[in-house]
Structure 1
Amino acid sequence: MKKLFIAVVLSMLVSTTWAQTKKPNIILILADDLGYADLGAYGSEIETPNLDRLAQEGLRLRQFYNNSICAPTRASLLTGQYQHKAGVGYFSNDLGLPAYQGYINQESLTIAEVLQANGYRTLTSGKWQVSGKGKSLPWERGFELVFPREEKNADSGAPTWNGKTDDAGYPLAESYATEVIHRHAVDFLDQVKGDDKPFFLYLAHTAPHWPLVALPADIAKYKGRYDQGWEQLRQARFQRQKTLGIVAADAQLSKPDEDLYDWSRLSFDQRQLWAKKMEVFAAMVDRLDQTVGRLLQKLKDNNQLDNTLIVFLSDNGAPAEDLVRWHHGARLNSGPVGTTGSYESQSKNWSYASNTPYKAFKDYTYEGGINTPFIAWFPGKIAPNQIKQGAGHIIDLAPTFYDLADADYPDKFAGKTTNSLPGKSLLPVLFAKQDTVQRPEGLFWERAGNRAAHIGKWKLVSTWPSYKWELYDLEADPTERNDIAAKQHAVVSRLSSAYFVWAKQNGVVDFAELEPKEPASMKEFRKSKVQEIAAPAFRF
């Protein structure tokens, strides 16, 4: 009876906090390959005043999870389903089973479909990448205003633009991808500003995904800032995270990968080349933040700001991809890093700092691959300058938005029985005093054979091609330094059993049965653990 009373009171607190006569606008901003520590609000030295403002005036979560790589993350983000249930278990290519068909199935409704049916205008600008085989294109899945609109470009890694450059080969602002995506988004906001309907905007940036290309004025701001190397940068970010309260004062950094370069042993010329890579990466993040500032100004000018929830996150951790060593990077490079002729990535050396304080990178199910910075801002509804644990997941965003919009989620849609929503509404965490999502059943991951299960304080991890489970106590060891599987057989058994139940329910199969065909040299490289590469034919 006491538990029931508490639940009723909490529900009343949440409803009175956000109840309003007019349905709110919702903006979901997704960055691409942004690491946990790449924003000022999460410990970075990169200048991100606009996102920092949203963090200071809103809420940050220490723990918010994605699916470790872009297409599976986007499938879950858009539908509120685990990616296999939505049909994008591996990537946007077809591996021959419904859970791995490479495009969103009809049983998994998108946020746009549900909100449009509940009176919303629906807009999207940027990266889509969940329409393998040309199916489930954005305008077929509930979005009214879409960029890019061309069918041949809808599922590419980035929208097309005219590629104008200056004399040195650097992009011009008018043709730079981040600016192009932003420009179409604000044009859509202008188109709907006179409506009496609320809007949902899905703004999916390609920055700061490789190849590293940025505007020269932005690059110049960071000249010399990374001459100290990745280890010192990681230490500096870690200390700022402690000061901010993002990590605990007694936290420890994850153990470094053994194959990272030793900065002290690099030549002067090598250090200069590596430092320039991070200068360009920082410039890409900086420009992304600049567009967020102009987006806020546009919302203010259009009288759309005060009734708008803005959520910001990244699709995965910073990447380990090294374009010089694979994907024909050395051959494709035709200009200095930062120019449109370059084909460079920050590689795991700098990503090691981007993912501070966590272990590993994009495509892994360690915290460095799946834990994203998460910012939520809603003036007058979300109390300012909050940092909570959260323990949320991208499957929670759809039920959160439906809860906020008082939207009905149908049992049937267009003649299909819909998949039920496995996520939880975040409103008690965002608008009330709840610190973490209440989820006794736990969370689960599988991507290209990399697996994880997280229930309570416990987390199981295994990394392909190994099937061996590792176990971490995330309360005592949030950076996954100490594998205690050998000491906790009962916990490993309980979590692994729960994982296999989840896998069966979602159509997950052993990756050895699905592994895409790769050249022998690439397969050897992928399994060497120099890097984890799952789909070299795709830009992800």
Structure 2
Amino acid sequence: MKKLTLCIALIFGGASALVAQSNKPNIILILADDLGYSDLGAYGSEIATPNLDRLASEGIRLKQFYNNSICAPTRASLITGQYQHKAGVGYFSNDLGLPAYQGYLNAESLTIAEVLRANGYVTATSGKWHVSGKGKSLPWDRGFDFVFPREEKNSDSGAPTFKEATDAAGYPLESSFSTEVINRKAEGFLDQIKGQDKPFFLYLAHTAPHWPLVALPQDIAKYKGYYDKGWESIRRARFKRQKELGIVDNTTTLSIADEDIYDWERLSFDQRQQWARKMEVFAAMVDRLDQTIGKLLQKLKENGQLDNTLIVFLSDNGAPAEDLVRWFHGARLNSGPVGTVGSFESQSKNWSYASNTPFRAFKDYTYEGGINAPFIAWFPGKIASGIKKGTGHIIDLAPTFYELAGAIYPKEYQGHQANKLPGKSLLPVLFNQQDTVTREEGLFWERAGNRAARIGKWKLVSTWPSYKWELYDLEQDPSERKDIAAQHHDVVSRLSTAYFRWAKDNGVVEFAELESKEPSSMKEFRESKVQEIAAPAFRF
């Protein structure tokens, strides 16, 4: 116990830190859905995000923070600290017939809520869960004292379902808008426990800004005309701001555009207006997400909970490439204009190309655009402001929280042998002078046949159905423009050997053996391309 108290004291510094053992910090983990690397003002965006920008400027931003490229696998790793296959969600929230691909959390992968509750915390979650299945691994069974929404019929489907009231034009009302409701339930939890002596853990999992594109009309109005210049202009403006902010090094070059990104200048006036409207609505969704975080901060302040609370904000993956006009014949499902509750539209690949500035590719891919997302950590008076390289991963958050809370991670839990934690504590990066996570073994990814390995500056990538390895030097080429595998066979061999060792240890199966079990809807998602809004003549 003396060593534990001393560890916490060293983290916080000063004589006052000696009370940390009896005054454990509150922890709030906020997850955005489908938010791209450059979609916050603090990461280069033109979208108004003053509350997150405040947390970023007063706290720490990481240039590199990795996820699992898509929602359910990311959530599985985030909430357990395990690689997604080890946790049972290797593919998605679908059961493909193998333990690593059962589609919901297994009992051996303990959640942050289970561990912290056993160590004296009150726990709550509000929003999207997406790691249950077959009536198992429901949030109230996995360590959470307070759960919203507590509806078993929705427990396996991912996002919570809300009945959103609308105005005469079909736009949602603020009182029932999903982003507001999710946040309001979290505020209610804070009110409910404000008189308790126990610390709390709040997992706030927003559905914004995931499609369909639906937003409040007053938020959409703020961005009228903002996007009339097109995605290439927005992308370059964001890239310039990123360099000014220090999020991107001055030597970085923009990634090469996919060949099916449209040429804005060759679109008709009506097409430009339709595309600009989509991004106006997307920006409004991000704006409102930020507004609710401002309300959460105000609630913490009113309740006297703010000064002893660590807040971590991140996104589950990069911005998406899916085009709802093609996928599920989305255009036929529209019962109202984009932005209204009747909308079944997405920002699609063209705007996501700007959202993921300066990186290559999108959600579901293992290039940086799919797996590298914003990361902000804020703890008033404890975390110094700054920008660091970081090179963290979602598997690192569980050990970080446990060390910060002085929590014991058990070898066994409710009769199950607990999986060991593969991640590293981020405390040396967040609180001390360390610039990056020390990780000699590297990091690894696999999702529906898309694979990657990173050790040091080197990153190996292959994209399904190809098995060809590509190699990138992320120090010289963070936007993955030049494959140098042919020049470094020794590096390819070393990283691929490490990858296959990791794959074996985590139950990863070659995707060719699983493809026949893949749901047709998910196959459509993986193969969706932006092809039907404009004719091929409009492309680069």
TM-score (norm 2): 0.94
Alignment partners' CA distance in 1, 2:331 and 2:49: 32
Aligned residue number for residue 477 of structure 1: 477
Give the 3-state SS of the residue equivalent to 2:332 in structure 1. Answer: helix
Deviations 1:470-511, CA, capped at 9 Å, x for gaps = 000000111101000011000000000000000000000000
Closer, same or farther: CA 526–112 of 1 in aligned 2, 3 Å: closer
Give the 3-state SS of the residue equivalent to 2:472 in structure 1. Answer: strand
Deviations 1:180-238, CA, capped at 9 Å, x for gaps = 10111000111111110000000000000000000000000000000000000000000
Aligned positions of 1:434-449 closer than 5 A: 434-449=434-449
Aligned residue number for residue 130 of structure 2: 129
Alignment partners' CA distance in 1, 2:156 and 2:205: 12
- 4+ residue stretches of structure 1 with deviation over 6 A? 9-12, 518-522
Structure 1 gap ranges (5+)? 1-8, 532-540
Alignment partners' CA distance in 2, 1:421 and 1:512: 29
Alignment partners' CA distance in 2, 1:140 and 1:486: 50
Aligned positions of 1:355-374 closer than 5 A: 355-374=356-375
Following TM superposition, by how much is the alpha carbon of 1:314 offset from its aligned partner in structure 2, in angstroms?
Answer: 0.1
Following TM superposition, by how much is the alpha carbon of 1:525 offset from its aligned partner in structure 2, in angstroms?
Answer: 8.6
Contact 1:127–1:156 under 8 Å retained in 2:
no
Does 2:509 align with 1:505? no
Aligned residue number for residue 424 of structure 1: 424
Contact 2:323–2:530 under 8 Å retained in 1:
no
- Residue type at the aligned position of 1:74: R
Does 2:84 align with 1:83? yes
Following TM superposition, by how much is the alpha carbon of 1:327 offset from its aligned partner in structure 2, in angstroms?
Answer: 1.5
Does 2:402 align with 1:405? no
Following TM superposition, by how much is the alpha carbon of 1:106 offset from its aligned partner in structure 2, in angstroms?
Answer: 0.4
Bigger drift between 327-336 and 302-311 goes to: 327-336
Closer, same or farther: CA 520–127 of 1 in aligned 2, 3 Å: closer
Deviations 1:410-452, CA, capped at 9 Å, x for gaps = 0000011100000000000000000000000000000000000
Alignment partners' CA distance in 1, 2:482 and 2:358: 15
Contact 1:137–1:154 under 8 Å retained in 2:
yes
Aligned positions of 1:196-275 closer than 5 A: 196-275=197-276
Give the 3-state SS of the residue equivalent to 1:125 in structure 2. Answer: strand
Structure 2 gap ranges (5+)? 1-5, 532-540
Aligned positions of 1:87-486 closer than 5 A: 87-384=88-385, 386-486=386-486
Contact 2:322–2:525 under 8 Å retained in 1:
no
Alignment partners' CA distance in 1, 2:303 and 2:358: 40
Closer, same or farther: CA 134–528 of 1 in aligned 2, 3 Å: closer
Aligned residue number for residue 535 of structure 2: none
Alignment partners' CA distance in 2, 1:436 and 1:525: 34
Aligned residue number for residue 25 of structure 1: 26
Aligned residue number for residue 495 of structure 1: 495
Following TM superposition, by how much is the alpha carbon of 1:15 offset from its aligned partner in structure 2, in angstroms?
Answer: 5.9
- Residue type at the aligned position of 1:16: G
Give the 3-state SS of the residue equivalent to 1:471 in structure 2. Answer: strand
Alignment partners' CA distance in 2, 1:229 and 1:202: 36
Alignment partners' CA distance in 1, 2:397 and 2:185: 24
- Residue type at the aligned position of 2:59: G
Closer, same or farther: CA 259–23 of 1 in aligned 2, 3 Å: same
Alignment partners' CA distance in 1, 2:185 and 2:519: 39
Contact 1:93–1:133 under 8 Å retained in 2:
no
Contact 1:127–1:155 under 8 Å retained in 2:
no
- Residue type at the aligned position of 2:11: V
Give the 3-state SS of the residue equivalent to 1:134 in structure 2. Answer: coil
Alignment partners' CA distance in 1, 2:28 and 2:520: 44
Alignment partners' CA distance in 2, 1:56 and 1:525: 37
Does 2:66 align with 1:65? yes
Deviations 1:243-277, CA, capped at 9 Å, x for gaps = 00000112100000000011011000000000000
Aligned residue number for residue 534 of structure 1: none
Bigger drift between 61-70 and 515-524 goes to: 515-524
Following TM superposition, by how much is the alpha carbon of 1:156 offset from its aligned partner in structure 2, in angstroms?
Answer: 2.7
Identity of aligned residues (%): 80
Closer, same or farther: CA 478–320 of 1 in aligned 2, 3 Å: same
Aligned residue number for residue 16 of structure 1: 13
